Amino acid sequence: MEMTNVSLKRGCLVVEDNDGVASQEETKKQKVSECCLINSQDGVEHEGLHSSENEPGPPEAGSTKKEEKNCSAHVREEEEEEEEEEGLPETGEEEEPESFADMMKHGLTELDVGITKFVSPHEGFSGILKERYSDFVVHEIGKDGRISHLDDLSVPVDEEDPPEDALTVLTAEDRQQLEELQLFKNKETNVAIEVIEDTKEKRTIIHQAIKSLFPGLETKTEDREGRKYIVAYHAAGKKALAKVRTAADPRKHSWPKSRGSYCHFVLYKENKDTMDAINVLSKYLRVKPNIFSYMGTKDKRAITVQEIAVLKISAQRLAHLNKCLMNFKLGNFSYQKTPLKLGELQGNHFTVVLRNITGTEEQVQQAMQSLKETGFINYYGMQRFGTTAVPTYQVGRAILQNAWTEVMDLILKPRSGAEKGYLVKCREEWAKTKDPASALKKLPVKRCVEGQLLRGLSKYGMKNIVSAFGIIPRNNRLMYIHSYQSYVWNNMVSKRVEDYGLKPVPGDLVLKGATATYIEEDDVNNYSIHDVVMPLPGFDVIYPKHKISEAYREMLTADNLDIDNMRHTIRDYSLSGAYRKIIIRPQNVSWEVIAYDDPKIPLFNTDVDNLEGKPPPVFASEGKYRALKMDFSLPPSTYATMAIREVLKMDTSIKKQTQLNTNWLR
């Protein structure tokens, strides 16, 4: 989920982080709108602050004028529809930095969520992260260890594919009429398309286009008053159409048996999160989003490259989108027998530019050498805990306490911090009336957590908050209690580092396979700090055999929770717990300091730049500004912000970074 969308004129700290190991129970992804202020449990960091820049996407290489016209009309139509569905009014106004900084005075700092320690003794320095979204590039590392790159736009040759012209021959009006016919949305029994250029080849292409793009429709050629028409009609009734349109078998009647059922491709996207990207692709292809699969979600404010699989959509149809969609590129197509699964990735490779750094060469060298050799504390990043004065871990704690009135109150009450205006009005209405139906009317976006809870309260009544809360998608509900687990873990790992430093001690935990075991006195020298894990609280974990164990107990007792009984009366909220390494050492670490004069120029080439043959940027030895370009790979469920925090020795919270950026602007 994407956090509240508030602009800042220059400078943005919050970054996308590594894809976590997604919950094994996560079988269903549901898009939730921007007003929800929590992030997913899989360790992916989400947007807390968006830049006001409007950077251009990759050019529409190879488009003909006709294609551009048809595509752009269709894309505009899709985007308008999406905006209307989401109900996100565009004010066209941008928050002033001072105004935003003022709102964020009530936001969380790292101290609030237990992030207090560093690994290296080096002196920190300042820098601006994500001044442009193109300063942050993520390449997925697949299960085979290869880094995903978009470096091939060619389409596998397949004789059974329709010719390329089949995808561009229909006008936007033709497409709309055929879609309405396909979905039984009009009273007509057929759609007739006049063949202007009456040749057999032209007619064949139109026949193929209709059958390829609109499964369930058949076509025939008719003469009407001396003119030739291709007539599309339903081959069978609604039952046959429903069968054709299922996610399990959307193209059964036309998919070659010799070909793998899944088309795998590499998706390059700019400034779009993964679910938004898939929603755009599915709308354009006229299929349901659930026929797409992927190994991990990628966030919005970045350039990201990842592998996607889609069921029974040809590479040819997918490649056609390159001529129509801005900020996307699809390539490296192949047909496979299996989809992709969440959590299968090995991690992500990051290329990050920190602009306008103040550190000396020596400071940078010390910081990066420490990151490479020792690593960073594997804290859960700030995005795990929300951006307003009501942290998500507080909601999670109330759920675990069975304090349902407090859960309702925490989610719906007015709070300080940066939020969209309509959400503020909704909260004010709730505080004034305690009427869920009345508060719901203030929300144009009904799919956010607040909207879903209000809908649940309208349906089940104020005395059945548990059922009302249950309307919220399961994964989003679990995010709250996972946020509480993360809060406990952060605090406990800070205490562990405070009390015992960066070396293993007897009573620490290490993993042997998936099983946690204690380090014994005579075994200490066989381990390093990189082997030590700490538990997230739950009923299926063990705790260290030293004073940190008592610290866990004290913290949960103070929160009115029983560490010996983490099973909840509602099974969904029973915490089994897990183990997490306390120190992560990034792989493939490299860096360089770049001198530059123009803050708007890109400082490295993207995959699309390389595909287009752009030469890499050349820099002078002296410049007005200096930037640190970092490359590193992280395993799943780790936060890139925490690696960057270790380098800069700066608080990564939006509250602190907004103050720094505001001062920089002045």
User: Which tokens is 180 given?
Assistant: 């309405």
User: Which tokens is 245 given?
Assistant: 């349109």
Residue from 7, 579, 653 nearest 383 by CA: 653
User: Rounded to whole angstroms, how far apart are CA atoms 100 and 645?
Assistant: 22
Cα pseudo-dihedral 381, 386, 388, 391, rounded to 10: -90
Greatest Cα pair distance, the chain, in angstroms, is 97
Of 135, 299, 508, 607, catalytic: 299
User: Which tokens is 11 given?
Assistant: 């400078």
Yes or no: say if 297 and 44 are a contact pair by the CB < 8 Å rule. yes
- Bridge partners (DSSP) of residue 267 are 306, 330
Percentages (nearest 5) of helix, strand, coil residues in the chain: 35, 15, 45
461 Cβ contact partners less than 8 Å away, ≥ 6 residues apart: 468
Residue from 168, 44, 236, 117 nearest 496 by CA: 117
| Beta strands 190-194 and 578-581, pairing class | unpaired
The verdict on whether 409 is a catalytic residue reads: no
Cα dihedral sign for 371, 267, 325, 28?
Answer: negative
Yes or no: say if 383 and 20 are a contact pair by the CB < 8 Å rule. no
- Bridge partners (DSSP) of residue 51 are 8
User: Rounded to whole angstroms, how far apart are CA atoms 485 and 568?
Assistant: 14
379 Cβ contact partners less than 8 Å away, ≥ 6 residues apart: 114, 115, 490, 493, 639, 642
User: Rounded to whole angstroms, how far apart are CA atoms 44 and 306?
Assistant: 14
| Beta strands 583-584 and 376-377, pairing class | antiparallel
Q: Which helix (H) or strand (E) holds 348?
A: strand 347-355
DSSP letter, residue 378: -
User: Which tokens is 106 given?
Assistant: 């009530």
Residue from 634, 87, 567, 30 nearest 348 by CA: 634
User: Rounded to whole angstroms, how far apart are CA atoms 474 and 180?
Assistant: 33
16 SS3 class: coil
Residue 228's identity, in one-letter code, is: K
User: Rounded to whole angstroms, how far apart are CA atoms 534 and 311?
Assistant: 40
Yes or no: say if 326 and 114 are a contact pair by the CB < 8 Å rule. no
Yes or no: say if 252 and 234 are a contact pair by the CB < 8 Å rule. no
Q: Which helix (H) or strand (E) holds 376?
A: strand 376-377
User: Rounded to whole angstroms, how far apart are CA atoms 452 and 404?
Assistant: 16
Scan for tokens 């305690």, then name that residue. Answer: 434
Q: Where are the alpha helices (DSSP H) in 121-226?
A: 172-182, 200-213
User: Which tokens is 444 given?
Assistant: 């144009």
Cα dihedral sign for 380, 382, 387, 388?
Answer: positive
Yes or no: say if 572 and 615 are a contact pair by the CB < 8 Å rule. no
The residues assigned a catalytic role are: 299
